[in-house]
């Protein structure tokens, strides 16, 4: 069963947008424990509309700057977040939380081994736009022997 969030995201974002400096102090002890400045920073910088650049700039300059230095001071983090608002409610789209790179398959792992800096979706695109023979040629040109290539691609 999914756990119900302690503080509705909509309420937090509205408080940031309206520059409510007392929002954090008015939270219950459970609410203060549930408050995640890192996650709110991600949502705060994600705004659609004409004020998007202001939110990105202010969040980066005020909240993200030396974030680890103020991580032990959640009230200060809240005050910095609330300084990013423009005084009116904004639309903050849902952000998928980052996830660890998962093993896909042998071909994916082969490409990732060659290009560890590439994003997962870029590797998927590379696999989609190339034929198996082209990927096998890539493996050969990078010094893979026939046995290794057979383990990666099969057949």
**Domain residue limits at 40:** 9-82
* Range ranked top by mean pLDDT from 91-95, 118-122, 130-134: 130-134
For 124, the 3-state DSSP assignment is: helix
Amino acid 75: pLDDT? 92
Q: With a cut of 50, say whether residue 1 has pLDDT above it.
A: no
Q: Are residues 111 and 75 in the same domain?
A: no
Instruction: For residues 90 and 47, give the distance between their C-alpha atoms in angstroms, rounded to a whole number.
Output: 7
Contact partners, residue 94, CB within 8 Å, separation at least 6 = none
**Residue 24 placed within a domain:** yes
**Residue 90 placed within a domain:** no
Q: With a cut of 60, say whether residue 57 has pLDDT above it.
A: yes
Q: What angle do helix axes 132-141 and 146-153 make, rounded to 10 degrees?
A: 140
Looking at the 3D structure of the chain, how many domains does it have? Answer: 2
Top pLDDT among 30 and 96 is at 30
**Residue 97 placed within a domain:** no
Instruction: For residues 20 and 82, give the distance between their C-alpha atoms in angstroms, rounded to a whole number.
Output: 6
pLDDT tens column, 32-51: 888 888 888 888 888 888 88
Amino acid 39: pLDDT? 84
* Gap between the terminal Cα atoms of the chain: 44
């Amino acid at each position: 069963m999914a756990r119900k969030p302690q503080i509705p995201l909509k309420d937090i974002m509205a408080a940031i947008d309206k520059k409510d400096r007392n929002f954090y102090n008015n939270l219950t002890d459970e609410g203060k424990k549930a408050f995640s400045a890192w996650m709110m920073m991600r949502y705060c910088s994600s705004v659609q509309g004409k004020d998007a650049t202001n939110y990105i700039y202010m969040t980066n300059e005020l909240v993200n700057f030396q974030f680890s230095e103020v991580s032990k001071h959640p009230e200060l983090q809240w005050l910095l977040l609330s300084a990013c608002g423009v005084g009116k409610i904004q639309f903050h789209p849902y952000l998928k939380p980052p996830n660890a790179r998962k093993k896909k398959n042998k071909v994916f792992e082969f490409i990732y081994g060659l290009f560890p800096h590439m994003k997962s979706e870029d590797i998927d695109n590379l696999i989609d736009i190339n034929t198996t023979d082209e990927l096998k040629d890539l493996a050969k040109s990078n010094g893979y022997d026939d046995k290794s290539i057979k383990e990666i691609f099969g057949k």
